[in-house]
Amino acid sequence: ELCKGINGLDKVVLRESRGTSAEVYLYGGQVTSWKNDHGEELLFVSSKAIFKPPKAIRGGIPICFPQFGSHGSLESHGFARNRQWSIDTDPPPFPTNSLSKAYVDLILRPSEEDLKIWAHSFEFRLRVALGPGGDLMLTSRIRNTSADGKPFTFTFAYHTYFSVSDISEVRIEGLETLDYLDNLQNKERFTEQGDAITFESEVDKIYLSTPTKIAILDHGKKRTFVLRKDGLPDAVVWNPWDKKAKQMADFGDDEYKHMLCVEAAAVEKPITLKPGSAEQLKDLSFCSIFCTGIRS
Ligand code: TA6
């Protein structure tokens, strides 16, 4: 269902028979809402988010492409998150989404202006689907459509903002003992010690070669998010904490307590795509998030 969202921007609303729903803005190809069958919102969007180009929407799931963060010469997190995407009304079958009836395919192709800042022709297909169990599934299929025969290289992330009760009540399982690059310490490499990850101050880390399954446990809301991913070896964990929160115009001063970004990503080893038959169609990434009552 295509309808008008904030500031008249186009959005697609997906509904699944058990009552779960999701909303995707064509601006940014950005998921901004995912609700469970009790109508509870599972993603965080700032009350100060600006739903207006050229600013990316603060919250939901921004798509970082063709660059994650400042890992390159483009604007931070690339340009896909502040471009207008279009709907493909005749999408191809995807093996990963065969179970889902509630889905939409959004397409992004570079404009003439985009080609001036990143000289590679591509087609980015983002499928957003609600699974039969209420899980949210995102699949990205990126094609190199260059006529010049040259490969291109990019970094990527699903910059997912989870809604949490209180950051002090949250822990992440699946990243302990892994290596990470710390964005707060010149992107230097460290090794995580000890148990599950908990939060007491600003965090901005890129965990490397992470497992395909990561769990985010929220004791306050008695909820667990299980993130599964494929084709995306890294996992970024970010919370701006109080000082950074105050510096962001589109983020409330206390909102850091109620959000946590855990992002399926490919940062350390950029992905290279060749044009031409065999490599042209490549399922880049799959990310699904499932939310349940907390494990005992
Ligand atoms: O994913 C973490 C990060 O790269 C942080 O460094 C932080 O700045 C955040 O993303 C938000 O970036 P943005 O450009 O949306 O303000």
Q: What is the pLDDT of residues 35-49, one digit of tens each?
A: 998 999 999 999 999
Residues whose CB falls within 8 Å of the CB of residue 93, separated by 6 or more in sequence, listed in order: none
The CA-based dihedral angle spanning residues 112, 120, 143, 132, taken in that order and rounded to the nearest 10 degrees: -70
How far, in Å, from the CA of 239 to the mean position of ligand 1?
9
**pLDDT band (50, 70, 90) for residue 285:** low
**pLDDT band (50, 70, 90) for residue 279:** very low
State which fold the 2-165+247-293 domain adopts.
Answer: Beta-galactosidase; Chain A, domain 5 (2.70.98)
Query: Which of 44, 45, 159 to mutate to test ligand 1, by most ligand atoms within 8 A of the CB atom?
Result: 159
How far, in Å, from the CA of 221 to the mean position of ligand 1?
25
Phi and psi dihedrals of 97, rounded to 5?
A: -110, 20
Over 60: is that where the pLDDT of 190 sits? yes
Q: Which two tokens stand for residue 172?
A: 């992440």
What number does the ligand 1 atom closest to the CA of 76 have?
Answer: 14
Domain ranges of the chain: 2-165+247-293
Binding site membership of 204 for ligand 1 (Cβ less than 6 Å): yes
Binding site membership of 183 for ligand 1 (Cβ less than 6 Å): yes
Instruction: Please state the rounded mean pLDDT for residues 121-140.
Output: 90
- Say if residues 63 and 18 touch (Cβ distance below 8 Å): no
Active-site annotation holder among 23, 120, 159, 268: 159
Binding site membership of 69 for ligand 1 (Cβ less than 6 Å): yes
Residue 263 annotated in active site: yes
Binding site membership of 250 for ligand 1 (Cβ less than 6 Å): no
Binding site membership of 238 for ligand 1 (Cβ less than 6 Å): yes
How far, in Å, from the CA of 69 to the mean position of ligand 1?
6
pLDDT greater at residue 79 or residue 93 = 79
Range with lowest mean pLDDT among 42-51, 133-142, 268-277: 268-277
Over 90: is that where the pLDDT of 283 sits? no
Q: pTM score, two decimals? A: 0.95
pLDDT at 292: 67
Among protein residues, the one with the nearest Cα to ligand 1's atom 8 is 69
Among protein residues, the one with the nearest Cα to ligand 1's atom 15 is 58
Among protein residues, the one with the nearest Cα to ligand 1's atom 14 is 76
How far, in Å, from the CA of 101 to the mean position of ligand 1?
33
Find where tokens 């206390």 sit.
254
How far, in Å, from the CA of 183 to the mean position of ligand 1?
10
Active-site annotation holder among 23, 255, 263, 268: 263
Query: What is the C-alpha separation between 140 and 36, in angstroms, rounded?
Result: 23
Which residues are bridge partners to 258 per DSSP? none
- Residue of 251, 258, 215 whose CA lies nearest to 235: 215
pLDDT at 295: 41
Residue 219 annotated in active site: no
pLDDT at 274: 84
